[in-house]
Amino acid sequence: MVDPYLRRKVTDRVVRGACVLGTLIALVPLFSVLYYVVVQGIGGINLDFFTELPKPVGESGGGMGNALVGTLKLVGLAGLFGIPPGVLAGVYLAEFGEGKFAKVVRFSADVMSGVPSITVGIFVYSLVVVTTKQFSALAGGIALAILMLPMVTRTTEELLKLVPESLREAALGLGVPKWRATLRVMLRTAAPGIAVGVMLSVARVAGETAPLLFTAFNNRFWSTGINEPTASLPVNIYTNAVSPYEDWHRQAWAAALVLLITVLILNISARFLVRSRVRAR
């Protein structure tokens, strides 16, 4: 007796096999990058790496303390400039965005998220660096903020739209003014999701190199305030990697590892945040 379902079973196996194979192929580059960066970078990680300045050529040791602080400073500024307007624009699009103007805003946000990051760098260079006559953390922060803005805006909009209409009606039906319903019910309900979106966009810009090359530039020393050229991990990875010195290469790998772990932590904590919020109190 031939199994009447044989054909279907075979097809099922084949399709499932193809899916598993595709997944494995997709995972290969991801895990090789992780593996390679860890293997190469782990040797350069020590306390000095986090606290010391880079040593001049010829001397071994030293660290990237300044670049670490610089990256935090840049990302902090980017968040400061990028998150509030991004969230507010998202609220506008989701709650009041019916007309033509909203369409234009939405479209430009989509276009902006596709703009190559180096273009944003040039833009901020001519706008901020040229006018203030110096590379600065401020300029770098602005460049990163511009990159974050469309991501934050669209995430906020999409997540607000996911909040059921019935909640808005519930709030309005209780005699709550619309602005307060939007803020305290709609935005509050979407908040964990928006926080995740924001963290992911922070993680993305934290690894950006191109827009920083001629905005924050680089600095071999500690920078104070936000009006000096500022070192950052990505730019340091770039300058160290293209240098001919073995020591510098090791530092670049270590910086890559630190950056990777930072982004990973941001991603994972974003996910963790969702899960802990979703669970009932």
DSSP 56: P
Q: Which is nearer to other proteins, 43 or 177 (CB)?
A: 177
- 271 binding other proteins? (CB under 8 A): no
**Among residues 29, 175, 224, 275, which is the contact residue for other proteins, using CB under 8 A?**
175
- 275 binding other proteins? (CB under 8 A): no
Give the residues across from 62 on adjacent strands: 54
**Among residues 2, 26, 47, 174, which is the contact residue for other proteins, using CB under 8 A?**
174
What is the distance between the alpha carbons of residues 230 and 276, in angstroms, rounded to a whole number? 36
Q: Which is nearer to other proteins, 189 or 267 (CB)?
A: 189
What is the distance between the alpha carbons of residues 265 and 159, in angstroms, rounded to a whole number? 23
- The gap between the terminal CA atoms of the chain, to the nearest Å, is 58
Instruction: Please state the closest distance from residue 48 (CB atom) to other proteins, in A.
Output: 46
Interface residues for other proteins in 190-219 (CB under 8 A)?
191
Q: Which is nearer to other proteins, 131 or 166 (CB)?
A: 166
Neighbours of 52 (CB within 10 A): 15
- Provide the residue count of the chain: 281
Cβ proximity of 112 and 151 under 8 Å: no
Interface residues for other proteins in 134-173 (CB under 8 A)?
164, 166-173
Q: Which is nearer to other proteins, 3 or 98 (CB)?
A: 98
Q: Which is nearer to other proteins, 116 or 173 (CB)?
A: 173
**Among residues 7, 103, 180, 271, which is the contact residue for other proteins, using CB under 8 A?**
180
What is the distance between the alpha carbons of residues 269 and 40, in angstroms, rounded to a whole number? 25
Cβ proximity of 36 and 252 under 8 Å: no
Nearest CA among 222, 182, 206 for reference residue 255: 206
Q: Is 278 exposed, middle or buried (0-12, 13-18, 19+ CB in 10 A)?
A: exposed
Instruction: Please state the closest distance from residue 79 (CB atom) to other proteins, in A.
Output: 24
Q: Which is nearer to other proteins, 23 or 166 (CB)?
A: 166
- 34 binding other proteins? (CB under 8 A): no
Question: How many CA within 13 A on the CB side of residue 102?
Answer: 14
Size of interface with other proteins, in residues (CB under 8 A)? 23
Site string for other proteins, 67-106 (x = CB under 8 A): -------------------------------x--------
Helix 137-162, helix 117-124: angle, nearest 10 = 130
Q: Which is nearer to other proteins, 25 or 280 (CB)?
A: 280
**Among residues 134, 189, 209, 269, which is the contact residue for other proteins, using CB under 8 A?**
189
Beta strands in 112-211, from DSSP E residues, in sequence order: none
| Footprint of other proteins (CB under 8 A) | 98, 164, 166-177, 180-181, 184-185, 188-189, 191, 280-281
